[in-house]
């Protein structure tokens, strides 16, 4: 899996988990770009999904975090080139790559623990798209990678 850069963004609810995941990804050697939010003041999650969509290109990937992961993933998926998967465990994180070629992983800071989040990140970025029959299905989603 060729990963040129990983963008990460969250709203205020995801701020602490974002910091933890930023550290983890940097430790793993990834080129990480933090799009904010940069403090715990209340913000609107669609603004950070929008920033993600504006930045994401080619072999770049993303991580989006809000309280539940729901709002920020809905907002991100309004952009055709974003395939954002809201995941809750290692299995969904792995299958989001393997079957859906997801380029953005969304998670909920208020719904999962830190250790699960870390394991999900490792699984997502270590898993290749399986292609084959899934290629045809992903193509039907439209959009460009």
71 binds ligand RB5 (CB under 6 A): yes
Contact present, 2 and 61 (Cβ < 8 Å): no
99 is catalytic: yes
13 binds ligand RB5 (CB under 6 A): yes
Segment interacting with ligand RB5 (CB under 6 A) among 26-34, 64-72, 76-84, 125-133: 64-72
68 binds ligand RB5 (CB under 6 A): yes
Segment interacting with ligand RB5 (CB under 6 A) among 61-69, 83-91, 119-127, 128-136: 61-69
Distance of closest approach, residue 98 Cβ to ligand RB5, in angstroms: 26
Nearest CA among 40, 50, 118 for reference residue 84: 50
Per CB under 6 A, the list member of 6, 8, 11, 104 interacting with ligand RB5 is 11
Contact present, 122 and 20 (Cβ < 8 Å): no
User: What are residue 100's phi and psi, to 5 degrees?
Assistant: -110, -5
- Give the distance, in angstroms, between the CA of residue 109 and the centroid of all CA atoms in the same chain: 13
Length of the chain (residues): 145
């Amino acid at each position: 899996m060729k990963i040129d850069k990983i963008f990460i963004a969250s709203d205020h609810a995801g701020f602490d988990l974002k910091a933890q995941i930023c550290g983890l990804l940097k430790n793993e050697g990834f080129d990480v770009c933090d799009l904010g939010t940069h403090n715990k003041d209340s913000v609107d999650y669609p603004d950070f999904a929008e920033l993600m969509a504006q930045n994401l290109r080619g072999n770049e990937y993303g991580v989006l975090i809000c309280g539940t992961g729901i709002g920020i993933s809905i907002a991100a998926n309004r952009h055709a080139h974003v395939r954002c998967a809201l995941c809750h465990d290692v299995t969904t994180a792995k299958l989001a790559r393997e079957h859906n070629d997801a380029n953005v992983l969304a998670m909920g800071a208020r719904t999962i623990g830190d250790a699960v989040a870390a394991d999900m990140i490792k699984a997502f970025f270590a898993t290749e798209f399986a292609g084959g029959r899934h290629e045809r299905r992903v193509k039907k989603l439209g959009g460009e990678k």
